[in-house]
Amino acid sequence: MIDIKFLRNNPDIVKQNIKNKFQDEKLPLVDEVIELDKEYRDSKTRAEYLRSQRNKISKQIGAFMAQGKKDEAEAAKAEVGAMAKELEELSAKEVDLEAKIRKIMLVIPNIIDPSVPIGKDDSENVEIEKFGEQYIPPFEVPYHVDIMEKLNGIDLDAARKTSGNGFYYLKGNIARLHSAILSYARDFMIDRGFTYFIPPFMIRSSVVEGVMSFSEMENMMYKIEGEDLYLIGTSEHSMIGRFIDTIIDEKDLPQTLTSYSPCFRKEVGAHGIEERGVYRIHQFEKQEMIVVCKPEDSMDWYNKLWQNSVDFFRSMDIPVRTLECCSGDLADLKVKSCDVEAWSPRQQKYFEVGSCSNLGDAQARRLGIRIRGENGNYLAHTLNNTVVAPPRMLIAFLENNLNEDGSIRIPKALRPYMGGNEVIR
């Protein structure tokens, strides 16, 4: 959500930005919202004038009543009554226009960073940098479910029976590995100065509406029947939700938080859950990072955040690359974003394991997240990034650490969380 004052003063920049994102159908909205904004401010000015008159006269009525001047009081009441109808109409108009303006402002995309490559969709995303050799073992790498089954580590049949497609039972060492990775990720981020959080796993509709668009909500969120609660799709929802309508002291910034949560997603829409395995599922767990900082610091934090993910994967010998989202693939709220992708020796390509985003002040404007500064209050910048999200991440882990006999090497960093074992078989 961008500042309407900015849009008012720079309609051409906003339009060019829409073109850069290949959303030309939204171009007319810019002039439309300028028109509505003008109308809104005009009727607001008039309504506020009427209110100030009413307040003044009402005070006089009080004074008349106190002095027992009944006739004067009645005359003043009639005066207010005369403007009541116009004020009522203007108030309704104000509310209506405000809602219309907000609705449009919510779909006008955030101004992207000049460094963002221009492109139509995800096929035009740009590789930034590779980290680690693209490892190809001298034997065939089985499908990840087969690797897990051979280690007696997964039961998808039972999960389909109890819960349906898109769920899993992890067992034995694979389940332990799953927990070990999350525990390691937690400590990894704590060591880098982040504060560990376990947030609510359900949030109210008012928070859901704040943190995502209606279509995202329809496609992602599970609703609890008979309650005003939704299962979170990522801990970012509850972590950013806690800052709604708050003012943070400048001295308390930056807020660098790392949160654990299970994530629940309907995965309705383009992809759906067709694939066998644990790549796209209704339930997974994730260690996340959230940063709330001053505007001038957000690009530095953006670079630190994706670097954290890269370092984390490299510490487990998994080759990764960073892939920058092009303008057309960038969500409307984001200024800049990149995916961290892990190397799959089986498919001999990279696949997404995390996503790092700088939302600028757009999320903060939408949610009222402000900073108390020496010269007044201003909007914060917000960022988020994945540390790790198993079980999808296990695909990369197992494929890259597989031995020919089907056993799995445990990288040094993870051994303390795996009972000291160097290998699982």
Q: How far apart are CA 304 and CA 341, in angstroms?
A: 16
Verify binding: residue 41, RNA, rule CB under 7 A: yes
Structure tokens at 180: 């070990």
CB of residue 48 to RNA, shortest distance in Å: 4
Identity (one letter) of the amino acid at 40?
Y
Closer to RNA by Cβ: residue 58 or 215: 58
Verify binding: residue 49, RNA, rule CB under 7 A: yes
> Which of 57, 273, 413, 423 touches RNA by CB under 7 A?
57
> Which of 30, 61, 208, 293 touches RNA by CB under 7 A?
61
CB of residue 191 to RNA, shortest distance in Å: 29
CB of residue 101 to RNA, shortest distance in Å: 10
- Tokens 């509505």, residue located: 36
Verify binding: residue 311, RNA, rule CB under 7 A: no
Give the contacts of 213 (CB within 8 A, at least 6 positions apart): 106, 332
Structure tokens at 386: 């994945």
Separation of first and last alpha carbons in the chain: 51
> Which of 62, 137, 262, 269 touches RNA by CB under 7 A?
62
Q: Which of residues 72-111 bind RNA (CB under 7 A)?
A: 77, 80-81, 84
Verify binding: residue 59, RNA, rule CB under 7 A: yes
Closer to RNA by Cβ: residue 55 or 195: 55
Instruction: With beta carbons less than 8 A apart as the criterion, state whether 121 and 327 touch.
Output: no
Residue 314, judged by CB atoms within 10 A of its CB (0-12, 13-18, 19+), counts as: middle
Piece of the chain touching RNA by CB under 7 A; list 24-32, 44-52, 136-144, 298-306? 44-52
Query: What is the CA angle 366-369-375, rounded to 5?
Result: 120
Q: How far apart are CA 364 and CA 243, in angstroms?
A: 9
- Segments in 11-116 forming alpha helices (H): 11-20, 27-67, 70-107
Q: Which of residues 366-425 bind RNA (CB under 7 A)?
A: 370, 372, 377
Closer to RNA by Cβ: residue 59 or 276: 59
Q: How far apart are CA 255 and CA 252, in angstroms?
A: 7
Identity (one letter) of the amino acid at 85?
K
Q: Which of residues 197-256 bind RNA (CB under 7 A)?
A: 228, 247
CB of residue 295 to RNA, shortest distance in Å: 15
> Which of 10, 34, 44, 409 touches RNA by CB under 7 A?
44
Residue 330 is given by DSSP the state S
Q: Which residues bind RNA (CB under 7 A)?
A: 4-5, 41, 44-45, 48-49, 51-52, 54-59, 61-63, 65-66, 77, 80-81, 84, 228, 247, 370, 372, 377
